[in-house]
Homo-oligomer: A and B are copies of this chain.
Amino acid sequence: MSREIVVHKYGGSSVATTEKIVNIAKHLIEVKKSGKDLVVVVSAMGKTTDGLIKLAKEISHDPDKRELDRLMSTGEQQTIALLSMALIELGQNAISLTGEQAGIKTLGLHTKNTIESINNEIILKNLDEGKIVIVAGFQGVNENGDITTLGRGGSDTSAVALACSLNAACKIYTDVDGIYTIDPRVYENSKKIQYISYEEMMELAYLGAGVMEPRAVELGFKYGIEIYVGKTLGENNGTIITFKEKIMEKKEIRGISINKNILMVTLDGIPTYARNLYPIFKKASEYGVIIDMISQNDVIAEKGSIAFTSPRTDEESLRKMFKELECNYEILINSNVVKVSLVGIGLATSINTISKIFEVLSENNISFHQISTSEITISIVVEETIAEKVARLLAKKFEL
């Protein structure tokens, strides 16, 4: 009989108390009894990681990143130990593994690592022994043997990467019951999506839908692993992320996301030739600053200006980086902006979407800072105060 492995992932709010952990343990034993081999990825309990970051910020505005990784990675180590204990207490053989023990090798800068490879030998050995294997999400080990973390939402990436490596099904359990066309807290008529393509989900995830980490979706896409997203211990009626070919109904707009973790940098009085801009983006890459939307459309390049967006969490690094660059142009950083994005695989073939969007903006007298479009996405940067209103108006227009 061929082996069937399932990877489950439980987020922070799902493991926030020991009571919740014990309930998950009971559920896992049921799944195991149904004949499946189980690898379980967990996040830190509740707001543990935020609490640790707060401690670090009490010590430094910009804590050393190697040390920050070490600090942040302790939360997941606690959860794996507790969940494994709960399983053993209930009579189920189990073992906890850190990212390193699970063979997760990473590359890159501390606090923003990517998974380079997974050696699943130890996991398979423990599954063979009948154990449920509990793996610390969000972490791995780099070539120096130092513990690393995978950035916000990194546990999703851990789970999908393990599923890819083990050729397993992947189920992401969270505190919402699936992916919605738009955040129900923003627009109450929002609908749950049953199937969504990797491409659409990647855009929605990158754009701040917050439910799934985009790199995780990308990995699933690359290795052809379907990802289920649903409520922890809930009904089996969440959202399935799969290939677009499997989705019958190709909607013009599948969903709208609101990304609050952005700021907008405007450089004024800089001749916008590539030779002037290259040092900036090179330095940004050295500092690990993510550059998102870039807009530059000057008539006279010598008196140019350029704007781009970055995550707000990169603000400290941006300020340091510009200080080091000793620029002779004006730098404006606006942290009160938000990006509203519309995503749909139907967008590519639709001819009047842009027109509809501008109809809404114009009718409601809404001004915006930036707009950019791609194959399946249209993003608009607006002031934070009006972002949710804009999202609601667009959701209504596109009947989401």
Contacts and interface: CB of A to CB of B under 8 A. Distances in A.
A18 B55 contact: yes
Interface residues of A, number: 35
Contact of A67 (B22, B73, B88): B88
A86 interface: yes
A310 interface: no
A52 interface: yes
Given A74-B74, A89-B60, A81 B101 contact: no
Contact of A59 (B21, B66, B71, B98): B21
A82 B56 contact: yes
Contacts of A21: 59
A96 interface: yes
So how many copies of this chain end up in the complex? 2
A67 B96 contact: yes
A239 interface: no
B58 A70 contact: no
A14 interface: no
Given A67-B96, A81-B67, A96-B67, A86 B59 contact: yes
Contacts of A96: 66-67, 70
A21 B66 CA distance: 18
Contact of A18 (B58, B80, B84, B88): B58
A71 B81 contact: yes
A78 interface: yes
A78 B77 CA distance: 12
Nearest to A95: B66
Determine which residue in A22, A63, A95, A98 has the highest number of CB atoms from chain B within 10 A of its CB, and name it: A63
Interface in A12-58: 18-19, 21-22, 52, 55-56, 58
Determine which residue in A52, A60, A95 has the highest number of CB atoms from chain B within 10 A of its CB, and name it: A60
A85 interface: yes
A387 interface: no
Contacts of A52: 78
A292 interface: no
Contacts of A68: 81, 85
24 contacts: A18-B55, A18-B58, A55-B82, A56-B81, A59-B82, A59-B85, A59-B89, A60-B85, A60-B86, A60-B88, A60-B89, A63-B85, A64-B89, A66-B96, A67-B81, A67-B82, A67-B84, A67-B85, A68-B81, A70-B80, A70-B98, A71-B81, A71-B85, A101-B145
Interface of A: 18-19, 21-22, 52, 55-56, 58-60, 63-64, 66-68, 70-71, 73-75, 77-78, 80-82, 84-86, 88-89, 95-96, 98, 101, 145
